[in-house]
A and B are shown apart, each in its own frame.
Chain A
Amino acid sequence: MNPLVTVRLAIIALLRNKMRSFLTMLGVIIGVGAVIAVVAIGEGAKAQVASSFAAMGTDLLIVMPGSTSSGGAAGGFGTGPTLTWDDLKAMQTELSSVKSAAPSLRSNAQILGEEQNWSTGVTGTTPDYFVVRNWGIDKGIAFGQSDVDSSSKVVVLGATVSTKLFGESGDPVGQIVRIKSVPFEVIGVAAKKGQSPMGQDYDDTVFIPSSTYQRFIGKGLQKYLNGTIFVAANSTAEVPKAQQEIVALLRDRHHLAPNEDDDFSVRSLAEVADAQAQSTNTLTTLLTAIAAVSLLVGGIGIMNIMLVSVTERTREIGVRMAIGAKPRHILAQFLAEAVAISMVGGLLGVGIGTIAAQRIALQFKWPTLIRPDVTLIAVAFSALVGIGFGLYPARKASKLDPIQALRFE
C-alpha cells in the first residue's frame, strides 16, 4: 500500500476525533516545547557568558600568590605573599609574549563624599592596569606613572561608585573624597564595565596608584606585592605561551627545585570561561533531561490513547481484514496514526518552545539561540516516540483474529 495513502488515512482518522487527538498531542507538545526552550535559553546563557568573558579580555592572565595545592593539601589563592615587585618588573621586561602587566592590590574601605558615603573595593595599581584590562576612562583622566612615583593622592572612580557618591548626572572630577580619612582628589571616572560572569559588579571599585595604596591603605610590606598581577598577552593565541613563560620565569626567580610545587598560580580567563561554560552545559543537560522525561510521558499518553483506539475500532479492523487488509497494513495504519500525532505534536512544540524561549530571553535580557540541529533532533525524537509507543498498540491491532474482531460489540 502506498505510504502516502497510509499517512493520508492516518490524518483523516485523527481529524475525526480532533479533541482527543489534540489532548494526546499535548504531552508531546509540552515535552518538545520544553526541550527547545531549555536548550535555547541554555545556549543563550552560554553565549552571554562567552561574550562577557570576551569583554573582560580573552588575552588576560591572572597571577596569584600561593599555590593551588602544596603537599596534597589545597591552599587557597593568595594564602601568603610570594610575588614581589621585582617579579612584576621582570614579567613586564623579560617576557616576549607579554604585552603588559599591572598589579592589583585590593581591600575594602569606606569612601566618604560630601553628601554620601559608600563601602567599596579599593584597587591599588599602575596606569598599565587600564591597558591590561582594556578599561576606558569616561570622564577626566587616568593617573600616570608620575602619580605612582610621587604617591599622589588621586583616585579614579568606578562607574557604580561615581553614581553612588555623586548621582547619575554629577561630575565628580575635581572633587575630594576621603578613603580611610585620607583626602583624595577625583581625577577621573572609569567607563562602565558591567558584570562579571559570576554576577559581580566590576564598576563597584575605585583605583588609586599602587604606591599611594601601600602608604595609606594596605600598609607594610615593601618587597612583596600583596595582591595579584593582571597580565595581558600579545594576543589570545599567545595566552598559553605567556602562561608557560610566566611559570618558568617565576619558578626561576623563586629558586624552586624541579620537585617543588609552584608557590604561585597562573590562570587564564579562557580556563575560567571554559569552567563556566561547563557548568552551564551541565545545567542545560539536566534541564533537557527533565524536559525529555515529559516527552516520555507524552509518549505513554499516545500509547494509552492508541490502545483505546484499537479497542474502539476492533470491528473496523475486522472489516478491513475481511476485505483483504494484511496484518502489516493494519500495523502501518495504527503506527502512522501514532507517528502523525507525535510528529504534529513535535512541530507544534517546536513553535511554542521557540516563542517561549524568545519571551523568556526578552524578560531576562538574555540572548537566545535556536539551534536548528536541536530542533531537528526534537522533531525526529518525537517521531521516534510515536513509533516506540505506537508499536505495541499497532501490533496488538494487527494480531487480532478477524472473526473475533468482526463479532466485537
Chain B
Amino acid sequence: MPLIEIQDVTKVYRMGDNVLNALDGVSLSIEEGELVAIMGASGSGKSTLMNLIGCLDRPTSGKYLLAGKDVGKMGVNEQAEARNRLIGFVFQNFNLLARTSAQENVELPLVYQGIGGRDRKRRAISALTRVGLGERLDHTPAQLSGGQQQRVAIARAIVGEPKLILADEPTGALDSKTTVEVMRLLQDLGKTGITVVIVTHEPEVGAYANRLIVVRDGKIIEDKHQEPVAA
C-alpha cells in the first residue's frame, strides 16, 4: 500500500465570480521511503498540492488516502491528529517559536501528543543530537544561524517519528553551503525509511530527489524517477 494515494483530485477556489482550478485532476501515488521533489513555478498549484498532502486542506473532488485513510472524510480534529502523528513539517522560514529554546521547540509536537515531560525531553534531545545540535539545546532561534534553525525545524519534524516529512522550500532561505547540509540530512532521513516530499522551484534542490514531479497549471506534466545527486 502506498503511503500517499491521490486519485483524480481537484481543488477549486472561488473568489467572487472568478473560479480558479488550483488542482485540475491530479493523480499521484508515493511509496514509503521515497524522496520526492515537487517542482513548479509560483501559481502552478504546487503549494495547493503540498497543503493537501499535509492534511491542511481538503480536495474539492477526488480522493486522497494517507496511510490508507481518507483525508477528505476527516474532521478538523482528525486532520490535526494525522498531522501530529504521521507528518513532520519543514518550512522555508523555519517557523520556530521565538524566544523559545531549541529543545522546547522540538518538544512541541510531543506536547500535543500528550507525552509526559521526561519522555519529551529525552526524545527532543535525541532528535536534536541526530541533526547535530546536541550541544545547543538551550539556544533560542535568535542565537542560531539559518542552517542551524532549519536543523532544529527538522528535529521538530522527526521527533514524533512520522511516516512523512513535508518540506516546503526548505532551502529557500539558506546559502548554498547550508543548503547542501540540509539536503544531506533529508537524504539520510529517506534512507531510514521515512518518506520525504520536498516542494521547491529550484532545479538544484530537485536534483537531490529520487523522483521528480513537475506541476503546471494544476496538472502534473512530468513524473520521473532519477538518480539523485549525493549531497
Contacts and interface: CB of A to CB of B under 8 A. Distances in A.
A180 interface: no
Contacts of B80: 321, 324-327
Interface stretch (B51-59, B144-152, B194-202, B214-222): B51-59
A365 B217 CA distance: 83
A360 interface: no
A329 interface: yes
Contacts of B56: 322, 402-403, 406
Contacts of B112: 1, 320, 323-326, 329
Interface in B86-139: 88-89, 91, 95, 97, 99, 108-109, 111-114, 117
A67 to B, nearest CB: 76
A16 B100 CA distance: 10
Nearest to A321: B80
The residue among A320, A324, A325, A406 with the most chain B CB atoms within 10 A of its own CB is A324
Interface residues of B, number: 26
A315 B95 contact: yes
Contacts of B54: 322
Nearest to B95: A319
The residue among B56, B80, B108 with the most chain A CB atoms within 10 A of its own CB is B80
Given A1-B114, A403-B51, A403-B56, A324 B95 contact: no
A319 B91 CA distance: 9
Contacts of A322: 54, 56, 83, 89, 95
B156 interface: yes
A5 B83 contact: no
B171 to A, nearest CB: 18
Contacts of B88: 323
A327 B76 contact: yes
A16 B99 CA distance: 8
B77 A323 contact: no
Interface string A1-35: 11001000000000010000000000000000000
Question: Chain B interface secondary structure, helix, strand, loop or mixed?
Answer: helix
A87 interface: no
B76 A403 contact: no
B57 A406 contact: no
A403 B57 contact: yes
Nearest to B84: A324
Interface string A276-294: 0000000000000000000
B76 A320 contact: no
Interface in A350-406: 402-403, 406
A2 B57 CA distance: 28
The residue among B56, B81, B84 with the most chain A CB atoms within 10 A of its own CB is B56
Contacts of A324: 80-81, 83-85, 109, 112-113, 160
A316 B97 contact: yes
A324 B81 CA distance: 6
B57 to A, nearest CB: 6
A318 B77 CA distance: 15
A323 B83 contact: yes
5 contacts: A320-B108, A322-B54, A324-B83, A329-B112, A403-B56
Give the top 6 A-B pairs by smallest Cβ distance, nearest first: A324-B84, A324-B112, A326-B80, A319-B95, A323-B109, A322-B89
Interface of B: 51, 54, 56-57, 76-77, 80-81, 83-85, 88-89, 91, 95, 97, 99, 108-109, 111-114, 117, 156, 160
Given A5-B117, A319-B91, 17 more contacts: A1-B111, A2-B114, A16-B99, A316-B97, A318-B95, A321-B83, A322-B56, A322-B95, A323-B89, A323-B112, A324-B83, A326-B76, A326-B80, A327-B76, A327-B77, A403-B51, A403-B57
Interface of A: 1-2, 5, 16, 315-316, 318-329, 402-403, 406
